[in-house]
Structure formats: structure tokens, C-alpha cells
Amino acid sequence: MSLISALGLMSGTSMDGIDVAVLETDGEAVVRRGPGGFFPYDDAFRARIEAGLDDARTIEGRQDRPGTLAGLERDITLRHAEAVRRFLNEHPSVAPDVIGFHGQTVLHRPDEALTVQLGDGALLARETGLPVVYDMRAADMEHGGQGAPLVPVYHAALAASLPEGLRQFPVCFVNIGGISNVTFVPEEGAPIAFDTGPGNALIDQWVAAGSGRAFDEDGRIAGEGEIAQDVVARYLDASFFDEPAPKSLDRGDFTTGLAAGLSLA
């Protein structure tokens, strides 16, 4: 069995920084998980990305980079390159064969078969000296997919890699990222996966607006509160929840407007 050591880079819709993880795979199963790391964005850079979302609304084609986006794409790529260098310095035994580069999603319109992630794969390859695979979401769309979520590919491989005694199907994975998604892995057949609704991106926006903090650390604010059923009901009225799977969301499809009147206290 020929194994590849892959170093994955992820900057999600929460826009909080760069996750780095290493795994060895034969392309079908996760054979061995290696070390991981997180390299946070500073507040000023995170604000630049958030501002770039406004420019992204005018994008009509996947290669368009209006306003600040061209410069932002370069800087995002260079920060990923620095994260790779720092990570490899911290873990000298890691020798990746390839980098998987997600980039920063700034626009996702599955109904138009359009998804845009900022990230220059060629620049990252030059900076790191390693082969880079990127633009995975666009490739998924070109093959008839929604472009999101992509993590179910890993979920299915993870389920298949469980030891015999622990391998029980069906398996369901729930991922609460900037946007939430679910993966259902049956014993036979292809997994079923789709976005289920807003996640940490919306929570972070609301917490930042009310407290100035970037996120609800350790869920402390949520843990002291109560469920506002009327607000939940307003969100669940969205037509998205009536749509059949597969389906996916853009970060801007839900806003904090429906939570108006709630307090952090």
C-alpha cells in the first residue's frame, strides 16, 4: 500500500485563523493521523477579511478579484506559507508529500455554481517548495456537487478506518464550524452530507457586536443563558430548512438581525 503524507490547511468561515493537520492516507482511508496546530489571525487581519466580504458580493466569475481582494488573496497565501514554515519547524519529523490548501471562502452561491476561495496555490507552492492541491470546492462544483461541505470525505474515511470492534454503522458526524453540517455514513453506499444551518460565524458576529470579544470562549455566555424559543422559531422559518439535500450555505445567508433584542447578560 502506497501512502502519502498530506498536510492540510484550513481557514474556515469563522475567519479566526489557520488550522494545520497532517495525516497519512492511501487515498481511501485515514491510515495515521499526525500532529496538528492552529495559527490565529490577529484582529486587524481578521477585520480585513471581513471587509473583503463586501467586495466579494460583486464577484461574477470565479477568477474575479474586485476591490481589495487581489491584495488580500496574496496576504492570505503568505500567512499560510508562514504557518507551514512554523509548523514544520515545530515538528521536524513531519515530511509532507503534498499540501492541501483550502483558502478563505469569501463567496458561495451554489445556485449559480459559483464558489470563491482566496488563495494562490502556485504562490504557496513557491513559498513552501511543496506540491499544492487547491480550489477543491470549485472542482466539486464542476463535477455536479455543491462545493460544500467537503469534510464528509474525511468523515467517511475516518469511519472506514475505525478498528473492527468499534466500527458500527450508521455513523453520524455533526460539525459546527462557521457553518454547520452533517455527514451520515451508512454501512453500504455513499455518505449523505449537507449544510444544516448557521454555526459559529453567526455566534461570533453576535458576541462581537455585544461584547467586543471575538468569540464566546468555552461557551461561557451560552452556558449562562436560556434558549430563546421565539428567536429559534424565526430562524427556522427560513426556506433553507425546507429544501431537500444536498444543499449548502454562504456565510451571509443568515444574519444576526433575527436575534435583535437579545442581550449577553
- Confidence band for 229, pLDDT divided at 50, 70 and 90: very high
What does the pLDDT read at residue 30?
Answer: 80
Which of 254, 238, 240 minimizes the C-alpha distance to 203?
254
Helix (H) or strand (E) holding 156: helix 152-160
Question: Alpha-carbon distance 229 to 71, whole Å?
Answer: 43
- The single-letter code of the amino acid at 82 is E
231-257 pLDDT tens trace: 999 999 999 999 999 999 998 899 999
What does the pLDDT read at residue 265?
Answer: 66
For cell 477579511, the residue is 49
Go through the domains of the chain in sequence order and give each one's CATH number.
4-142 (3.30.420.40), 170-259 (3.30.420.40)
- Confidence band for 171, pLDDT divided at 50, 70 and 90: very high
What does the pLDDT read at residue 152?
Answer: 84
In sequence order, the 6+-apart residues with CB closer than 8 A to the CB of 123 are: 74, 77, 78, 81
Q: Is the pLDDT of residue 104 over 70?
A: yes
**Mean pLDDT for all residues in the chain:** 93
Quote the pTM value: 0.87
C-alpha cell at 41: 489571525
What does the pLDDT read at residue 176?
Answer: 92
How far is the CA of 248 from the CAs of 83, 130, 171, 181, 224, in angstroms? 29, 31, 21, 9, 31
What does the pLDDT read at residue 263?
Answer: 85
Q: Is the pLDDT of residue 10 over 70?
A: yes
